[in-house]
Structure 1
Amino acid sequence: MEETMRIKLFVNYTLLFTFCVFLSGCAAATSDDAAKLPITTASPKARELYLQGRDLQEKLRALAARPYFQKAVAEDPDFALGHFSLAFTSTSTKEFFASLEKAVSLSDKASEGERWWILGAKAGTDGNPLKQRELWQKLAEKYPHDERCQNILGGHYFGQQQYKYAIEQYEKAIELNPEFSQPYNQLGYAYRFLEKYEDSERTFKKYIEVIPEDPNPYDSYAELLLKIGKFDASIENYRKALAIDPLFGASYTGIATDYNYAGEHANARKELQKLYASAQNDGQRRAAHFATTVSYVHEGNLEMALKEQEKMYELASKINDSAAMSGDVATMANILLEFGKPDAALMKYNKSLKIMQDSDNSKQQKDLAERFHHSNL
């Protein structure tokens, strides 16, 4: 199947959730420096726990970060940024929306800058990127010397595929603090999407230099190597990431993708079995099923691809995660359409929309589901 098909598989609420997780990689700085975005909490212990979680979250180690945020909000239940970070380390869309709504409800108790950040993320999940841009531009302007605020705005431009503007913001963040690792990651991807592969490689290698003992720099560099067809070198770097952290699931998916492109689909799915076996929660199990779906689609096996999606749907239905369930059914529709079955696809698209319409999700989420539905038709 064409690469466009594999991309389209993500056009659902799973993608929305993942995109929001990406945006959360920018965490607030301490309030000791007036030039930095403050952290508003009544509990010094909550602040300490938050900062420990922040360090892991910025390195894209959400699974390890999440317990710190859980402990932080236990220390201070009114800690808006604590709930905000819980949202972005959630393992399901249901958890994500619940924690985000809690952060929004507490945002009036936070500083103006924190409120802009939280409400900007909410605007993004509601399908209002212009509102998000307005709020995050104000944030970056209010804190011009805070590398994380510049990075947040860069995340908006990146998400809108305005990579040149994103690059400007990431470079500002790096200039402010060359040891802040996260902008190197997104900068490397921005160059990659612009097909500036030499710049992308240079950036990812610098990212490795900044945090050599973390898995994500090797994973990101491996993805670039995958993109340019250097499959063996790509797998080697994915293995480096897993040697550092055997639970870093993205690297199993990356190796599987290398094998898919090489036409070795059975080997791809062997790697994904390792991902499933190492899963710590249903979110990771869903990720393993989805990657297996992609492998079967690439191989041209409709029946097995749909079976994997059914497994994803079953996991989501266990907790009545309507957004994930809707996304799973929409993905089934995308697959059916790609395999030349438009009538069956239409039935799935309609079912996907109905799941959201009948759910207790917010009006904004339901409206966004309807827009997705019309775009699919």
Structure 2
Amino acid sequence: MLPRLIYKSLTNSIAYFLPTLFGLLLLMVPVSAQKRAIEMTVASTEARAALVAGRELAENQHHDKAQKYFTKVITKDPACAIAYLYLAQSVAPASTAYVNNLKQAITLMGKASEGERALIEVEKAQAEGHVTKTKELLQKLVRQYPTDKRVFLAVSGHYLRLLDYTEAEAALTAGMALDPDFPPFSLWLGHIAATKGQFPIATQALQTYQKLLPDEPNSFLATGHLYLKRGFYTEAIKSFTTALDLDPQFYQAYGALGMAYLANDQLTEARNQAEKLLGLAPNTTWRRQAYYALIGTYLEESKLHEALASLAKSRELAEKDKDSWEIAQDMNLVGDIHLSQGKVNEATAQYQSALKVMETADAFIGMKNQARLTYLTHATEVGLATNDLAAARRHITEYRKLASLQQTPGLNQELHRLLGLVALVEKKYEAAAQEFAKSSQQDPRTFHLLGNIHLAQGDQAQAKLNWMAAAQLNDPTHSYLLLRRKAKQ
């Protein structure tokens, strides 16, 4: 199973992945220790059929439909641990539903098969923030099941969450050598290639996915995202529309279509898509997504009052569900909006409240650590906004210490961004540029800040190029939308 999302080469050559971790592991496995495929532990033929159907839907990002099948499995077989794991992986990440279903999978894992227990242990280790342990468990899983394609799919999913594209790509390529016609491999290889800016490779991968599943709306969604990333807005709109024509209940396509309209400066159409999703949304998750899509259109027009009003409605839904992670997410966005307007005290209050919500939540320690890291990021930005460099440095020191326990690419990139911000405030432009070069190159803030450096150095032309790059990344995050209009101007 892969995380809710969100695409190297499609070569099937063993030579490609042998130098990676997974290739070396396969060479080291005694044949006697290898197992063919993970055994499914389920009480009845009917429950097994529902489990398989739900798994296939989830593999192609139909998470809402998959949830219904996994719930059916649990109704027929309440002791089916793997169904709870799959259900956890198909709901909103870090949500209360995720926590509750994963805990139930852990409780029942004694009744699961060896391979199923291993998958649950991996998810548990990742939820607890034990990155080294997670990688060790993944290595063991590959050694035990080197011919199970879904093991490689699961492994790639965990590495994608860690933003470790090298190992995720290696796992997908290894899996593709086992079964080149398994659609999810092409989908996710395309995602990785697109993320790296390798657009011809991404196009080839997604074309393969579409050939394998010609009537699958997710293939048009993925292709649309590729067009959007390349700035081909008309083509993106067409692809997203085709996805909805194939399945009007493929809800993620409404948000994607709205983002394409927004990128193309068609705000009325973007807002219409958000309103349409709000009317069709079958559950709280999608209603909140609709409000966030609306918020994006308001941020684009600097209509902050309307953005905050939509956020309040989103917050009401999260509070009704007693979903601590979502409540904290809303608080942090309110803080970001206040900070963008120079309202430091209001922003600080929101950031502190968000942290407190997560500190007292019934959540895995990894989620709480992530909340702490998010707070430290915001506290650093507040320190810089108030010219309190000593406070900013203290927060960065704490961030570095906590992030060092995990050593994931994403956390390391964010640390460099924070260090670059300090150097920029100190007018140490070369040092700042070096730090931003090590931060995420998929984050529009990186290019916006590089533009600011060039402007400070008197290079207005280069500044404009970087600002334009920031504006054209079309990142669906609200940190992007808060700076998009500024970058365009």
Instruction: Return the alpha-carbon distance in structure 2 between the equivalents of residues 206 and 48 of structure 1.
Output: 27
**Aligned counterpart, 2:439:** none
**Aligned counterpart, 2:101:** 99
**Aligned counterpart, 1:208:** 210
Alpha carbons 2:58, 2:66 under 8 Å: kept: yes
Instruction: Return the alpha-carbon distance in structure 2 between the equivalents of residues 249 and 365 of structure 1.
Output: 26
Tell me the alpha carbon deviations over residues 294-321 of structure 1, each in whole angstroms, 9 at most, x when there is no partner.
Answer: 2222332222222221111100111211
Instruction: Return the alpha-carbon distance in structure 2 between the equivalents of residues 115 and 372 of structure 1.
Output: 31
Instruction: Return the alpha-carbon distance in structure 2 between the equivalents of residues 163 and 335 of structure 1.
Output: 31
Runs of 4+ aligned structure 1 residues displaced above 6 Å come to none
Alpha carbons 1:50, 1:72 under 8 Å: kept: yes
Alpha carbons 1:50, 1:68 under 8 Å: kept: yes
Matches within 5 A, 1:213-232: 213-232=215-234
Deviates more, 1:110-119 or 1:61-70: 110-119
Instruction: Return the alpha-carbon distance in structure 1 between the equivalents of residues 230 and 51 of structure 2.
Output: 38
Matches within 5 A, 1:255-270: 255-270=257-272
Alpha carbons 1:222, 1:233 under 8 Å: kept: yes
Instruction: Return the alpha-carbon distance in structure 2 between the equivalents of residues 375 and 325 of structure 1.
Output: 18
Alpha carbons 1:313, 1:325 under 8 Å: kept: yes
- Out of 346, 353, 356, the position equivalent to 2:355 is 353
The alignment status of 1:254 with 2:256, answered yes or no, reads yes
Instruction: Return the alpha-carbon distance in structure 2 between the equivalents of residues 341 and 82 of structure 1.
Output: 46
Instruction: Return the alpha-carbon distance in structure 1 between the equivalents of residues 267 and 132 of structure 2.
Output: 41
Alpha carbons 2:314, 2:330 under 8 Å: kept: yes
Deviates more, 1:153-162 or 1:85-94: 85-94
CA apart distance, 1:91:
5.8
Aligned length: 350
The alignment status of 1:153 with 2:155, answered yes or no, reads yes
Tell me the alpha carbon deviations over residues 58-87 of structure 1, each in whole angstroms, 9 at most, x when there is no partner.
Answer: 111111111211111111111110111121
Q: Match for 1:46: what amino acid?
A: A
**Aligned counterpart, 1:185:** 187
Instruction: Return the alpha-carbon distance in structure 1 between the equivalents of residues 173 and 57 of structure 2.
Output: 22
Alpha carbons 2:130, 2:366 under 8 Å: kept: no
Q: Match for 1:72: what amino acid?
A: V
Tell me the alpha carbon deviations over residues 70-128 of structure 1, each in whole angstroms, 9 at most, x when there is no partner.
Answer: 11111111111011112123368111111111001112222222122112112222223
CA apart distance, 1:148:
0.9
**Aligned counterpart, 2:37:** 36
Instruction: Return the alpha-carbon distance in structure 1 between the equivalents of residues 365 and 132 of structure 2.
Output: 19
Matches within 5 A, 1:286-301: 286-301=288-303
Instruction: Return the alpha-carbon distance in structure 1 between the equivalents of residues 247 and 106 of structure 2.
Output: 33
**Aligned counterpart, 1:58:** 59
CA apart distance, 1:34:
5.0
Q: 1:322 to 1:151 in 2, by over 3 A?
A: same
Q: 1:356 to 1:188 in 2, by over 3 A?
A: same
Q: 1:340 to 1:192 in 2, by over 3 A?
A: farther
**Aligned counterpart, 1:45:** 46
The alignment status of 1:338 with 2:319, answered yes or no, reads no
Alpha carbons 1:91, 1:284 under 8 Å: kept: no
Instruction: Return the alpha-carbon distance in structure 2 between the equivalents of residues 275 and 241 of structure 1.
Output: 14
Instruction: Return the alpha-carbon distance in structure 2 between the equivalents of residues 115 and 106 of structure 1.
Output: 9
Q: 1:126 to 1:307 in 2, by over 3 A?
A: farther
SS of the residue corresponding to residue 292 of structure 1 reads: helix
The alignment status of 1:77 with 2:78, answered yes or no, reads yes
Instruction: Return the alpha-carbon distance in structure 2 between the equivalents of residues 184 and 167 of structure 1.
Output: 11
User: Which structure's relative contact order is higher, taking Cα pairs within 8 Å and 6+ residues apart?
Assistant: 1
Let me know the Cα RMSD of the aligned residues.
Answer: 2.0
- Out of 184, 187, 196, the position equivalent to 1:194 is 196
Tell me the alpha carbon deviations over residues 275-331 of structure 1, each in whole angstroms, 9 at most, x when there is no partner.
Answer: 111111111101111122122223322222222211111001112112211121112
Q: Match for 2:233: what amino acid?
A: F
SS of the residue corresponding to residue 90 of structure 2 reads: coil
Alpha carbons 1:91, 1:282 under 8 Å: kept: no
**Aligned counterpart, 2:175:** 173
Q: 1:126 to 1:309 in 2, by over 3 A?
A: farther
Unmatched 5+ residue regions in structure 2? 7-33, 380-489
* TM-score, normalised relative to structure 2: 0.68
Alpha carbons 1:150, 1:172 under 8 Å: kept: yes
* Identical pairs, percent: 29
SS of the residue corresponding to residue 78 of structure 2 reads: coil
Instruction: Return the alpha-carbon distance in structure 2 between the equivalents of residues 133 and 376 of structure 1.
Output: 29
- Rg larger in structure: 2
Instruction: Return the alpha-carbon distance in structure 1 between the equivalents of residues 104 and 252 of structure 2.
Output: 29
Matches within 5 A, 1:294-309: 294-309=296-311
**Aligned counterpart, 1:325:** 327
